Amino acid sequence: MAKFLISKSRPLSGEVDVSGSKNAVLPIMAASLLTEGKCEISDVPLLRDVDVMCGLLRSIGSSVNEKDDGHTIEIVTKNIALQEAPYELVKKMRASILVMGPLLAKTGRAKIALPGGCAIGSRPINLHLKGLAALGAKIVEEHGFVEAKADRLRGGNVYLDFPSVGATENIIMAAVLAEGVTVLENVAEEPEIVDLASFLNKMGAKIKGAGTDTIKIEGVAALNGARHSVIPDRIETGTFMLAAAITRGDVLIKNIVPDHVKPVIAKLKECGVTVEDTDDGVRVRCLKAPLISTDIKTLPYPGFPTDMQSQFMAFLTTVTGTSMVIETVFENRYMQIGELNRMGANIKIEGRGAVVQGERLLQGTQVLATDLRAGAALVLAGLAAEGTTEISEIYHIERGYSDFIEKLRKLGAGVTRVEE
């Protein structure tokens, strides 16, 4: 088992390039099942989740090849040999459920093991199934699997009770080959949805409204291959912004879309951090002392992202004053609190909220990464803590951050990955 060793950092400085988005590339890879043509995807991040998705696609029958640059993959699916996603792969990554829509649309059948992933709370797939049923699929759940069948999907109207990103993506991918018109309402508006729709439209799909709460899809008979570059990862962007802030550094973050991280920028500015747009990206500096507290509340996009809550909480332990953090998306996304308190933080849970007492002198100790974003929060806390922080179960972190340690070291952080 590997672990991270982190020593207290001087103010980080320099430049860092953000990798392609994990949450965008996975559904785009799944969408390649919808065509027999070649799909070339560039700006692919080097992540464990991407490796798992490659394995899942190969098990289904795809040819998946990595090009020499290491960040471009070619996917060709001439024949779908398996209409099931094996449990051995699905249990490693919740995003495996995203092959359900494409398999159903292309072959008329999909059987998927109930997914795994981070233990951050209940994330039922009922909205996925509701949308597929509205397109004419018959759904059966038994023995830990869910199976969907349809001789031919037909367009329909779907209203999501909650704007689930995964459900929106799965239903879009099913609807592009459905007969007739599909209208999706109260859907997710995340940039990753827009990126998926852009890729599908390059393949010949007819999708309008991605990035709004209503999407209209006119089904087509077949799709072709396409080339596509994945958008930058907005959560990695936000994490490096907070790395600069928690070390009181000066970092230029490149290859980003500033509009995708507006809520994070706004909250950093409320704390007194200087965030400047440049021709090359966003520069994050701490010119004022001391930094002050603020409150955050997670919401679906374009609100403050739940995937940034843990990291921002770690930062708030180091500023002056008391902050309130309210998590509205997942009920169990405070798993970092116990570990941060072990490092000297003072955070108390009150219902769906958490009260963070600032100006804490964090101390390095042994901590556990319980999930992806909680792990990232512990890395940030380690940069600000006296002594050495030892983080175990780092496979969670490596699921979502490409070359994380190398990028931090380039900025001056004392971070080492060691094998036990």
Contacts of 128 (CB under 8 A, 6+ apart): 97, 100, 101, 164, 166, 167, 170, 171
Q: Are 207 and 344 in contact (CB under 8 A)?
A: no
Contacts of 161 (CB under 8 A, 6+ apart): 127, 186
Q: Residues 39, 54, 118, 286: which is the catalytic one?
A: 118
DSSP assignment of 43-61: S----HHHHHHHHHHHHHT
Q: Are 110 and 83 in contact (CB under 8 A)?
A: yes
Neighbours of 96 (CB within 10 A): 27
Q: What is the DSSP letter of 255?
A: S
The encoded tokens of residue 374 equal 């909680």
Q: Are 381 and 317 in contact (CB under 8 A)?
A: yes
Question: Where on the phi/psi map is residue 168: left (φ > 0), alpha (ψ -120 to 50), or beta?
Answer: alpha
Backbone phi, then psi, for 298, in 5-degree steps?
-75, 145
- The CA distance from 228 to 37, in Å, is 14
- In 3-state terms the chain splits into helix, strand, coil percentages (rounded to 5) of 35, 30, 40
- The CA distance from 252 to 275, in Å, is 10
Look up residue 409 and give its amino acid. R
Nearest-10 Cα torsion for 114, 118, 123, 126: -20
252 DSSP β-pair partners = 15, 283
Burial of 154 (0-12, 13-18, 19+ CB in 10 A): middle
54 is catalytic: no
Neighbours of 199 (CB within 10 A): 25
- The CA distance from 185 to 183, in Å, is 7
Q: Are 199 and 31 in contact (CB under 8 A)?
A: yes
**Nearest of 323, 272, 261 to residue 296 by alpha carbon:** 323
Catalytic residue numbers, as ranges: 118
